[in-house]
Chains A and B, each alone.
Chain A
């Protein structure tokens, strides 16, 4: 059976010289299949929106309707979660959503999924949580501590509640990165394992005799591959959506600190 983890291997496509950054160390600037997948994703997004808005009309065509639909959907999301100040964060959330969605969907068509690399998802998660921290300190200053001390909780409960709040805040970027990474990795491993069953059971059936029982089992796993592929397309959208929603929720915590709406 083919190795199900082989598809996640990062290989160099164009070898570029190392780049040394003072204080950080040596960085390999080579173009790998991971960076190519990300370039493609970013290029596709730009091309899609350039095409959909090329002949913008008052009565939109099919492509323009799709572009405006995605735009309006995320715009709605930010304003409904963060409130009227959500517009400020819309560009960030929209970019995040489209980039993750493009990488996930491309992973279904190409051999490589950029979001199944922990380095990629961790970068996105750290970027989000750094933005949350910077916005929180900029807007609230020293009042930022209220994030960990919920209003209206008696002081003797705070001894218990504050550590829990701090732990849950620290775990946010971790779960944000692991959720996307785990979902994409798990889904693609399951696809490969079921596809491997088809081949190995087929080889068993080719031997004849009792091995012929492998034919219905191979057909069953082929059906499993088809069903899983459909599920993976759903997951690809859902995980991008979830990442955007969670980024909104975390931003809302610091933007509307202290006054719930």
Chain B
């Protein structure tokens, strides 16, 4: 296989890491919505925690994205 072709396949494979981040962020928002619909009065106070959890989870997806870029451009 040509090295250039392997590079593109590798970068494509690296993006698969975002599957996990997608599932994780989805779980966080589903958990928040379940809690918020049961007790709407407490939902506003948890906004910071919601965004914090989503950001921490998303960081792993971003790592996969950066890895893909590293494979493509190095």
Residues of chain A whose beta carbon lies under 8 Å from any beta carbon of chain B? 77, 80-81, 175, 178-179, 181-183, 185-186, 238, 241-242, 245-246, 249
Contacts and interface: CB of A to CB of B under 8 A. Distances in A.
B59 interface: yes
Contacts of A238: 51, 55
Contact of A186 (B48, B63, B65): B65
A192 B66 CA distance: 18
A179 B58 contact: yes
Sort A-B residue pairs by CB-CB distance and give the 8 closest, nearest first: A182-B62, A242-B55, A175-B59, A179-B59, A182-B65, A179-B62, A178-B62, A245-B52
Bin the interface of chain B by size. 10 to 19
Contacts of B51: 238, 241-242, 245
Contact of A245 (B48, B58, B65): B48
Contact of B59 (A178, A241, A249): A178
Contact of B55 (A77, A179, A186): A179
9 contacts: A80-B48, A81-B48, A175-B59, A178-B62, A182-B63, A183-B62, A245-B51, A246-B55, A249-B52
Binding site of A, secondary structure by majority: helix, strand, loop or mixed?
Answer: helix
A249 B49 CA distance: 11
A249 B56 CA distance: 12
A185 B55 CA distance: 16
Contacts of A183: 58, 62
Contacts of A241: 51
A242 B52 contact: yes
Contacts of B56: 175
Nearest to B48: A245
Contacts of A178: 59, 62-63, 66
A182 B55 contact: no
Interface string B39-74: 000000000100110011011001101100100000
A215 B69 CA distance: 31
A240 to B, nearest CB: 11
B63 to A, nearest CB: 6
Contacts of A80: 48
